Chains A and B, each alone.
Chain A
């Protein structure tokens, strides 16, 4: 247990919490939309949400379709994660209101052609339509939602201690690029190799999700993720001028795709989290300014905790 962990708590009187937990009486504190130079990463730990009545109220926020989907899932833990993931998305987006209160229940979603969830607005919503882009990822023990102002974003998380069933090098030879196989093969410690594999997987997933595609539409063998250095440092908002993690397409040209920024974190001490965000079109290659990533832990309707600069959000080497 790290006693030096700094937390900034938002005063609880920001939230109205009624004894009956009636969904209509619960309020969500608004959050300011990030600037174009920032992204937000929200996360929720399912095990910390224990109140049965709160979970019941969460169900009331979901659409009938979503509730039906959750009902079809077998296993209480999986059901809970599915419920909380949808609650996190709805409540988080609703908080970025730019023109009056947004009821999280009123949000509509659709999936793009590759299955990526997107916001769907009615024609008459134009006034209160915040330019939010989001992407979600979850494991059984953590749910993360990344948010930007207008820029495509992809998020992927994996548990740090996840075991790989297949042989890692065989898997990499099958699905990754030769460059990545070489890098993995050069790691002699099997545990370090497994962790590098997971980091690489989350980075690649975050990239294809940011593009709005999936592994089927953009096979992982068509692009290489590389790193420039291996240092571990805390997330403090003042990044280097050169991007640490880059993506190159593997197609004869081996072109650097410089319009994507990656951040790799150790999140909540238990997970690797990769965030991929499109850089602003107006920035040229010469003046690359990394987008600041703010990490917040949250329990919808209960409270938030800023985790940037703490050991719950450590930028890790790759």
Chain B
């Protein structure tokens, strides 16, 4: 059971051109376990340095990425794949990562240069990059 001991809200300077998405970071005591979905949203653990406030990807995007990752790595639907999940720790090798990126390109209609693929190491990073790229193409 998660207990919320503090809520911090941060409005950093925004480099995105679109409307801000405000995400409230809450403290979850058991940081090693899966996220506890609250009212259908997942909250990032305070362990990650980025507070993911201003330009965090929408949960729907994160969920779609999780689905593609699960499919590529043949993980069961209830396996713990969340925004914080690292591809390498889930057992993804380089071919898996490239296949995942290709799957994301097709799902979201974007193009990810190989040079950027290096910076995608977690589900959240993939989701953030997707939304950034989708913005650019608008």
Knowing A216-B116, A216-B118, A219-B115, say if A75 contacts B99 (CB, 8 Å). no
Q: Identify which of residues 152-177 in chain A touch chain B, using a CB-to-CB cut-off of 8 Å.
A: 158, 162, 164-166, 170-171, 174-175
Q: Is A22 an interface residue (CB 8 A)?
A: no
Q: In the docked arrangement, what's the CA distance between A182 and B77, Å? A: 37
**In the complex, what residues of A have CB within 8 A of residue B71's CB?**
165
Residue of A whose beta carbon sits closest to that of B106: A166
Q: In the docked arrangement, what's the CA distance between A75 and B99, Å? A: 22
Residue of A whose beta carbon sits closest to that of B89: A73
**In the complex, what residues of A have CB within 8 A of residue B102's CB?**
166, 170-171, 174-175
**In the complex, what residues of A have CB within 8 A of residue B105's CB?**
174
Q: B114-128 interface mask toward A, CB cutoff 8 Å, 1 = contact, 0 = none?
A: 111110000000000
Q: In the docked arrangement, what's the CA distance between A205 and B98, Å? A: 12
**In the complex, what residues of A have CB within 8 A of residue B30's CB?**
none
Residues A216 and B98 in contact, CB atoms below 8 Å apart: no
Q: In the docked arrangement, what's the CA distance between A201 and B99, Å? A: 12
**In the complex, what residues of A have CB within 8 A of residue B135's CB?**
none
Residue of B whose beta carbon sits closest to that of A163: B74
Residues B91 and A75 in contact, CB atoms below 8 Å apart: yes
**In the complex, what residues of B have CB within 8 A of residue A166's CB?**
99, 102-103
Knowing A74-B89, A75-B91, say if A219 contacts B114 (CB, 8 Å). yes
Q: In the docked arrangement, what's the CA distance between A298 and B114, Å? A: 36
Residue of A whose beta carbon sits closest to that of B97: A215
**In the complex, what residues of A have CB within 8 A of residue B16's CB?**
none
Residue of B whose beta carbon sits closest to that of A205: B94
Residues A215 and B98 in contact, CB atoms below 8 Å apart: yes
Min Cβ gap A213→B in Å is 10
Q: Is A63 an interface residue (CB 8 A)?
A: no
Min Cβ gap B3→A in Å is 24
Sort chain B's interface into a size bin.
10 to 19
Residues A165 and B103 in contact, CB atoms below 8 Å apart: yes
Partner of A140, one of B72, B91, B116: B91
Q: Is A139 an interface residue (CB 8 A)?
A: yes
Residues A215 and B89 in contact, CB atoms below 8 Å apart: no
Min Cβ gap A78→B in Å is 5
Q: A234-272 interface mask toward B, CB cutoff 8 Å, 1 = contact, 0 = none?
A: 000000000000000000000000000000000000000
Q: Is A65 an interface residue (CB 8 A)?
A: no
Q: A208-221 interface mask toward B, CB cutoff 8 Å, 1 = contact, 0 = none?
A: 00000011110111
Q: In the docked arrangement, what's the CA distance between A175 and B113, Å? A: 10
Q: In the docked arrangement, what's the CA distance between A74 and B72, Å? A: 17
Partner of B114, one of A73, A165, A205, A215: A215
Residues A171 and B117 in contact, CB atoms below 8 Å apart: no
Q: In the docked arrangement, what's the CA distance between A78 and B99, Å? A: 20
Knowing A72-B89, A171-B102, say if A214 contacts B80 (CB, 8 Å). no
Residues A216 and B91 in contact, CB atoms below 8 Å apart: no
Partner of A215, one of B90, B91, B117: B117
Enumerate chain B interface residues (CB-CB to A < 8 A).
71-72, 80, 89-91, 93-95, 98-99, 102-103, 105, 114-118
Given A78-B91, A214-B118, A216-B118, 15 more A-B residue pairs with CB atoms under 8 Å apart are A72-B89, A75-B91, A78-B89, A139-B93, A165-B71, A165-B72, A166-B99, A170-B102, A174-B105, A175-B102, A214-B94, A215-B117, A216-B116, A219-B115, A221-B114
17 sample A-B contacts, Cβ–Cβ < 8 Å, listed by A number: A74-B90, A75-B91, A78-B89, A78-B90, A115-B118, A140-B91, A164-B99, A165-B72, A165-B99, A175-B102, A175-B114, A201-B95, A215-B94, A215-B98, A216-B118, A217-B115, A221-B114
